Amino acid sequence: MIIQVEGLVKDYGSFRAVDTISFTVEEGEIFGIVGPNGAGKTTTVECLIGLRKPTAGRVSVLGMDPQEDGYALRERIGVQLQTSTLPSRMKVGEALSFFASFYEKAVPSLESLLEQVGLAEKKNRYFQGLSGGEKQRLFIALALVNDPQVIFLDELTTGLDPRGRRHMWSLVEDLKKQGKTILLTTHFMEEIQRLADRVAILSGGKILAMGTPQELIAAYGGTPRLILHLRPGEDPERLLPGKAWQKVSHEDGGPLKAILPLKDMREAAQVMHQLLATDMDFQALELQQPSMEDVYLNLTGKPLEVENSHA
Ligand X SMILES: Nc1ncnc2c1ncn2[C@@H]1O[C@H](COP(=O)(O)OP(=O)(O)OP(=O)(O)O)[C@@H](O)[C@H]1O
The footprint of Mg ion (CB under 5 A) covers 41-42, 82
Q: Which does 255 bind (CB under 5 to 8 A by kind): Mg ion, ligand X, none?
A: none
Binding ligand X by CB under 6 A: which of 20, 24, 82, 223?
Answer: 82
Rg (CA), the chain: 23
Please state, in angstroms and as integers, the Cα–Cα distance from residue 52 to each residue in 18, 57, 107, following that order: 12, 13, 27
Residue 164 binds ligand X (CB under 6 A): no
Taking CB under 6 A as the binding criterion, the range among 11-19, 96-104, 109-117, 281-289 that sits at the site for ligand X is 11-19
Contact 291, 199 (CB under 8 A): no
Q: Is the dihedral of CA 102, 105, 109, 113 positive or negative?
A: negative
Task: Considering the complex, state which of residue 61 and residue 268 has its C-beta at the smaller distance from ligand X.
Answer: 61
Contact 21, 15 (CB under 8 A): no
Binding ligand X by CB under 6 A: which of 5, 31, 34, 43?
Answer: 43
Alpha-carbon distance of 19 to 207, in angstroms, equals 9
Pair type for strands 246-248 and 198-203:
unpaired
- Contacts with ligand X, 175-214, as mask; x by CB under 6 A: ----------------------------------------
CB of 172 to Mg ion, least distance (A): 18
**Amino acid present at 286:** E
Residue 40 binds ligand X (CB under 6 A): yes
CB of 38 to Mg ion, least distance (A): 8
CB of 82 to Mg ion, least distance (A): 5
Please, which residues bridge with residue 28 across strands? none
Residue 146 binds ligand X (CB under 6 A): no
Residue 159 binds ligand X (CB under 6 A): no
Residue 20 binds ligand X (CB under 6 A): no
Which of the 8 DSSP states describes residue 121?
G
Alpha-carbon distance of 43 to 33, in angstroms, equals 12
The residues of the shown chain that bind ligand X, judged by CB under 6 A, are: 12, 15, 17, 35, 37-43, 82
